Structure 1
Amino acid sequence: MSDPWRRRLIGGGVSVAVAVVVGVVLAVPWLAQRADSSEAAADPSAAVTQSVTTPVPGPERDVAEPRRALLPPEDGVYLGVSNFRLVTDNGAVRVWSEQNGARPAIVNWYQQWLTGERRFRPDWARRVARTGAIPMITWEPWSAPEGERHTPVQPDISLARIAAGDHDGIVRAWARDIAAYGQPVMIRLMHEMNGNWYPWGVHVNGNAPADYVAAWRHVHRIFDAAGVDNVSWIWSINNLERIDGEDHEISAYYPGRKWVDWVSTSGFNWGEAYSWSSWRTADPLYGDTYRELSRFDKPIMISEIGTTDIGGDARLWIRQTFQRLRTGYPKLRAVLWYDDIDAAGLDFRLHGQTAGALAQPGALGRDWLRTPVLRRLAP
């Protein structure tokens, strides 16, 4: 997100907005959609300690079911989508797939540490998994802003305080519950840290790049101590567009090879919606960032992609952009469409002019898309 005022909230303050034993590699078949039994939400006004300890409705994991973690595809990409309705509405993934001509391999949503639903929701994860997709959570350590603007200065959630253990309660609760869930989960932690619109930004809220590394490793260590081996950790920068307030020395806050499973970026074609934006194609948007991320020798993800129709043909942009990503970005292993409306009202959803755009001839290409591949873990 290069626009610092975009945010993702749903009713009740819930955010919408994601050492391993070598085992058998399994390709996951697409599973039939089944109804989940509950959709209870936490009281957003409850204390964090209450929020993360109240039992979440839903059946416990079948202990006979093998524990698994996600592997990146050897070639091609996982197609993903960010759309909170797919997490909470039974049958929504099937409908989205029918409308767009492609079934998502990853479904992302957004959750914050201090507002909204603060617990890991295994019932949401199961609903996604039952469609054959992998649940991905963009996990945001902050309080959601009031109104339409971000509030990056939040001293109670600075990187130094995260690293010092001030928020270990919620981190331990998530680690415990994800370990119990036992199936693949992707966590996109503290994303777009090279911008200045979130409290974990590397140059706001008293933060420094070393603080980011320390905070990331601290959270990761808590998960390690809880025996969590089913999480894929996604380190995600904002694309390098040379915008005000954005840092480009990204290696200074890379947590390190052992602490990261995927590297990622987010980038949108804002068209002519703003005075600072223009209609931009794939290479101007992603080329420099892709080259920088390639240095880390990790699978690369575009974790937020989308286009407006202000200033150009959005449907044509989708076809041409995906064609270019397919042919010119060989290390790309996942692409997630941001299927939502931003805070300023820009509509990135696939409807109207862009309805079914992913299914256009030459857009995705069936030989490019992959179904999730899993690794069996030790019991």
Structure 2
Amino acid sequence: MLISTVPAANSAEPLIGVYGENSMQHVLDFEKWLGRKVDVILCTVDFHKWENYRYADWLSQTVYGARGDRRLVYDVPIIIQDTSYAEAKTGSYDEHWKCLAESILSNNAGEYEIVIRPSHEMNGEWFAWGVGGSKQAMIPDFIASWQRFHGVFRGVKGGERFRFSFSTSEGASDPRPMWPGDEYVDIVGHDVYWKPKAMGGEGWEEGDAKLAWDKRVNDGYNEWGVGGMLKFAQQKGKPFQIDEWGTWGPDSAVFVQGMAEFLKANNVRSHTYWNSNSGYPGELTQREKEWPAPTKAFKAAFGAVAKP
């Protein structure tokens, strides 16, 4: 059995979460490195086959059965590979959604809120469920599908526990026209990743981490960066959270510090760090020597508080 011996999460701060590649051991490794427990664990539901999508047992029991009081946040695509919103909005996938909703509830006993991220990063076009970029003609079907999905999840016994995060991404189309309606969203979330050119691959920014952070906060890139989406959440009267974030490279300490200051200054509900090299090379637990400044900054900002 996997047991954590690190202190509980700090009080009076935003909830802290981690993505650890659907591995409890990775979560425990992150906690040991950070010196504290996390509040939430981000996990991803399969989007290749409905038979895998329908049940949360593997994630909730096999992978995270030893999570204790850490709560799972579920990435749940409204549609999966080779399906469509045009069909989803008509009810074609209701039974798949209903089965998954019941499975999630059966694996999370209690009365606490369960956060769902339907079709996260929908304003991009890199996922099967995205409606950004060249797929924007699908937005009306996406909205209708979200509304139906919401009804199915809320309609099962215990469904009032679900909380739905409108989880957008930077570096993509304006997500605001994709809003499914105030009554269908509980939380506004946003994904933020520092991507300097030096990282290669998808890197596109110049190597000034402070400038990069300032632009995100002050609409320097567009009006739907982290600052813009915070304002959008405030206009909607919804809590705001950072659903995913990651940093890269030895010179990114100021980006970490900027995030920490933003979270505390704006009463952000939670933040989840992408401690993985899958999809984005943001793993910190193995980079103490390689990235001393940002790893130190992260621990200082989010690690265990020293007792007086």
* TM-score band w.r.t. shorter chain: 0.7 to 0.9
Q: Which residue of structure 2 aligns with residue 255 of structure 1?
A: 180
Indicate yes or no: 2:257 matched with 1:304: no
| 8 Å Cα contact 1:128/1:134 also seen in 2 | no
Q: Note the alpha carbon deviations across 1:218-246, whole angstroms, 9 max, x for none.
A: 1111122212122221110112x4xxxx3
Q: Is the alpha carbon distance of 1:85 and 1:195 closer, same or farther for their aligned partners in structure 2, counting shifts above 3 Å? A: closer
Once the two structures are TM-superposed, the CA of residue 322 in structure 1 deviates from its matched residue by 3.5
2:234 counterpart (294, 302, 307): 294
CA distance in 2, matches of 1:206, 1:321: 32
Structure 1 gap ranges (5+): 1-31, 35-73, 144-155, 368-379
Letter in 2 for 1:217: Q
CA distance in 1, matches of 2:191, 2:167: 7
CA distance in 1, matches of 2:239, 2:232: 13
Letter in 1 for 2:90: A
| 8 Å Cα contact 1:322/1:364 also seen in 2 | no
1:277 counterpart (180, 187, 205): 205
| 8 Å Cα contact 2:46/2:52 also seen in 1 | yes
Once the two structures are TM-superposed, the CA of residue 327 in structure 1 deviates from its matched residue by 4.3
State which drifts further: 330-339 or 172-181.
172-181
How do 1:83-122 residues align onto structure 2 when only pairs under 5 Å count?
83-87=20-24, 89=25, 92-115=26-49, 117-122=52-57
Q: Is the alpha carbon distance of 1:202 and 1:131 closer, same or farther for their aligned partners in structure 2, counting shifts above 3 Å? A: same
1:214 counterpart (144, 155, 158): 144
CA distance in 1, matches of 2:239, 2:297: 23
| 8 Å Cα contact 1:201/1:207 also seen in 2 | no
**SS of 2:131 mapped into structure 1:** coil
1:224 counterpart (148, 154, 157): 154
Q: Is the alpha carbon distance of 1:94 and 1:225 closer, same or farther for their aligned partners in structure 2, counting shifts above 3 Å? A: same
| 8 Å Cα contact 1:301/1:332 also seen in 2 | yes
Q: Is the alpha carbon distance of 1:129 and 1:252 closer, same or farther for their aligned partners in structure 2, counting shifts above 3 Å? A: farther
Letter in 2 for 1:169: E
| 8 Å Cα contact 1:191/1:235 also seen in 2 | yes
Say which structure is richer in helix.
2
1:333 counterpart (260, 266, 269): 269
CA distance in 1, matches of 2:65, 2:238: 25
Indicate yes or no: 2:169 matched with 1:264: no
4+ residue runs over 6 A deviation? none
| 8 Å Cα contact 1:93/1:131 also seen in 2 | no
| 8 Å Cα contact 1:304/1:336 also seen in 2 | yes
Q: Note the alpha carbon deviations across 1:48-96, whole angstroms, 9 max, x for none.
A: xxxxxxxxxxxxxxxxxxxxxxxxxx96311001112534x4xx54332
CA distance in 2, matches of 1:319, 1:128: 31
Q: Is the alpha carbon distance of 1:175 and 1:230 closer, same or farther for their aligned partners in structure 2, counting shifts above 3 Å? A: same
CA distance in 1, matches of 2:179, 2:136: 18
Higher relative contact order (CA closer than 8 Å, sequence separation 6+): 1
**SS of 1:323 mapped into structure 2:** helix
CA distance in 1, matches of 2:204, 2:255: 22
Calculate percent identity across the aligned residue pairs: 19
Give the superposed CA RMSD.
Answer: 3.0
Letter in 2 for 1:189: P
Letter in 2 for 1:360: K
Once the two structures are TM-superposed, the CA of residue 133 in structure 1 deviates from its matched residue by 1.1
- Normalising by structure 2, we get a TM-score of 0.76
Indicate yes or no: 2:118 matched with 1:189: yes
Structure 2 gap ranges (5+): 5-10, 217-225
CA distance in 2, matches of 1:192, 1:111: 14
- Normalising by structure 1, we get a TM-score of 0.63
**SS of 1:267 mapped into structure 2:** strand
Aligned pair count reads 270
**SS of 2:23 mapped into structure 1:** helix
